[in-house]
Structure 1
Amino acid sequence: MRDQDLPRLSRVAVRARRELGARAVSRGWRVLVVGCGWISRHVHLPYLAGLRATGGLRSLYVADADPDRATRAARDFSAEVHTGPLERARADLVLVATPPADHATLTLRALATGARVIVEKPLALTTGDAAAVLAAARRHGGWVYPLYTMRHRPEAALIRRSVLAQRIGPVREMRASWLRRDGVPATQGGTEAGVLWDLGSHLVDLALWLPDWYGNTGKARAEHQHPAAATGEVPHAGWQHRERANQAIAAPKWHGVRAEATLDPERRLHLEASWAAPGIRRDQSRIDIVGEQATLTWHTVFGWSPDRRTVPAPTLWITDADGREQVLLHHQPRDPYAEYTAQLDTAFTALTAPTSDDAVGPLEAAYASTALLHAMQTSLDTAAPVPFDIRN
């Protein structure tokens, strides 16, 4: 594969992969991708095929519950199909990109073989499963890198530096929302865990990571939003595959969720996520970080939305107590491949030369976000506040 054949990768990114590959090839790694759905075909497999083409991998294998899908992926990315149990693959690195319900189990199985693991978000769907992965990694000296994409946006790094440098004072409140006008995933794997775990996992990860809100306990409450009976609208699956736009999705689970969490001491998080929010004309994401001296606002569009090209400027600003605004960034990146490949660059850099300035590592952060999301999910199911503990 030539440089110009690598989909949507800049020359800088290609050079980075050569550098990463030079370190990786010394191990002669065998990489297994488990799950050949949309995200693997559009992000993981092109990236890994490019890394292998520049000398970074010895061999690339794919596996999927659907044999035909695995065969197509192997053909399109010059990989080999692995059949049988994961344990027989003898992989040095396993990338887990299956539906969320399988993430923790497959990660534990891969760790037990001695492999390192990159796993799609969310790490798990329960606090217990996330704790099991964390314990297994610590017990066996294993390495797990969960992929929470939005923290790899360049704006996120700027926000975190600004917040930790006390530019807005101590943070007391976070408001995070991600609303799609018509963004229901088009596959069963995409919808089965619900919007809280799909969009909400990114929001909770950012809400904890940007102000470094780890090591807390508290209570969470959540409720479903705008069910079809109230709005007269039924969302349709048309996000990645427009030809499937007439496939109705059951309500109310698939519409939206609103959640709140109180974190000790006196910190509050407000979250809103929807795949098909009524009354909006464009997808929109917004995070307000409220400090004692000022509020930092990030107005953007996350993910693969076609509305990324139309988000109003500015995208990032600080408003002080007197209402004066200071613009930090006018425009957001328009190409979603930037953050999705950046997260893999970061993962492979950590894999080959582990360094981090964060006091809480990626796996510990994923445990914390899973614990908070699990409390919110339990509140959705019970209609009652639920305590959580995100210390680890």
Structure 2
Amino acid sequence: MKDGAPTIGLIGAGGIAHAHLPGLLRIGARVVVYSPVGADDLVAQHGGEVADTLDDLLAVADFVDVATPTHTHHDIVKRAVARGKNVISEKPLARTDADARDLVESAAARGVQLYPAHVVRYFPEYVRLKEAVDAGLLGELAVLRFSRSGSFPTRTRWFGDRSLSGGIIMDQMIHDLDIARWVAGEVVRVSAVSIRRDEGAHPVEAAHVLLTHASGAISHVAGTWGPPHLRFATEYSVTGTRGTLAHSSLAEQNYTADLESPEAADGLLPPIDPAESPYYLELRDFASAFAGGPAPRVSAHDGLVAVALANAALTSLDTGQPVDLPEFPDGAVH
């Protein structure tokens, strides 16, 4: 760290790195980027420096931000942790429960901080929901419904391979699985159904996941990867004994339909106000914690449980049966 400003190592130069790099630079940090492909273009567009190798990046970084494909997270994060680096990892923390647990335990043993980038906890509509529930405005929660949709991510093949990405449940719906637990508490049972169609030029995948919370509340989480013109959209409706709180991103944009050409839409990420980017707020929170500030609103344990929820849903898809989970009342790793 030089003159009080950290040097941050950003690993990866894909789509999500274009959301991370501006936020890291806005923190006031020196940012060094390493990626086998795309680092020069990423830096040319946003700023920063390019490292020739991962070892070069780890040698100069005060902490690292891993924004690489899901199936690479474990090895890269483990390598950074072994070097004593605090780490931000894009969601999911890892592809498998065992790998996620290994990262959490390795970080704890090494005495470094590890945070999963569950950025939806920083979107204002979900912050309002959490605040309303915590204040008791909705009463005792009963039924929660969350949905998230966008275009099928065909630009990079690994997204469509469930063994690598976890498919729509692990890659997209993990955000709402995490939010449901954040809002309604621990989950004791998970069941799921899904459908995928690959006929024609544009694949489509959809899934529904049902969560039973320890409190007795039920969460229904729906996700869709659709045709290229499908814009990113989110909704929720949360009902308790005292009322309901609902959100629809399309309604708030006065939006009714999208029949534009595929080239006219990008349905992978939501539209962001650069002035109050949730990605910036999240990264600032993590950087503050690394500098000795308060713990952020998402922990390594939260990342571990989110992976467990997503994998339980995938197991339910394979078996056709619900999956029972242990409760995590004390935040312990089970």
Task: Give 1:81 shift.
Answer: 2.1
Q: Could you report, residue by residue, the CA deviation over 1:322-360 in whole angstroms, capped at 9, with x for unpaired residues?
A: xxxxxxxxxxx96354222222222222222421486xx
- Distance verdict in 2 for CA 1:112–1:257, change over 3 Å: same
* Aligned-partner Cα distance in 2 for 1:174–1:50: 35
TM-score (ref. length: structure 2): 0.81
Structure 2 CA distance, aligned partners of 1:343 and 1:262?
28
What's 1:37 paired with?
14
- Choose 268-277 or 96-105, whichever is displaced more: 268-277
> Match for residue 364 of structure 1?
301
Structure 1 Cα separation of the partners of residues 255 and 320 of structure 2: 35
Poorly superposed stretches of 4+, deviation over 6 Å: none
Amino acid at match of 1:174: L
Report the CA distance between 1:311 and its aligned residue: 4.3
| Structure with larger Rg | 1
Task: Tell me if structure 1 keeps the 8 A contact 2:214–2:327.
Answer: no
Q: CA deviation at 1:184?
A: 3.1
The alignment partner of 2:16 has SS state of: helix
Identify unmatched segments of 5+ residues in structure 1. Answer: 1-23, 237-248, 302-306, 313-332
Question: Does 1 or 2 have the higher relative contact order (CA < 8 Å, sep 6+)?
Answer: 2
CA contact 2:289–2:296 (8 Å) conserved in 1: no
Q: Given the superposition, is the C-alpha separation of residues 43 and 273 from structure 1 closer, same or farther in structure 2, using an over 3 Å criterion?
A: same
Unaligned runs of 5+ in 2: 257-269
What residue number does 1:346 align with? 285
State which of 296, 310, 313 in structure 1 corresponds to 2:254: 310
Aligned residues: 309
Q: How much has 1:126 moved relative to structure 2?
A: 1.9
Q: Which residue of 1 aligns with 2:33?
A: 62
TM-score (structure 1 length as normaliser): 0.70
Distance 1:380 1:71, change over 3 A: same
- 1:186 partnered with 2:155: yes
In the alignment, what sits opposite 1:383? Answer: 320
- Residue 335 of structure 1 is matched in structure 2 by 272
The share of aligned pairs that are identical, in percent, is 26
Cα distance between partner residues in 2 of 1:344 and 1:196:
24
The 5 A counterparts of 1:1-392 are 25-26=2-3, 29-40=6-17, 42-51=18-27, 56-57=28-29, 59-66=30-37, 69-76=38-45, 77-83=47-53, 85=55, 89-180=59-150, 182-192=151-161, 193=165, 194-211=167-184, 213-214=185-186, 216=187, 218-225=188-195, 227-228=196-197, 234=200, 236=202, 249=203, 254-276=204-226, 283-300=232-249, 309-311=253-255, 335-337=272-274, 338-356=277-295, 361-389=298-326, 391=328, 392=332
Distance 1:87 1:35 in 2: 12
Whole-angstrom distance in 2 between the partners of 1:105 and 1:165: 41
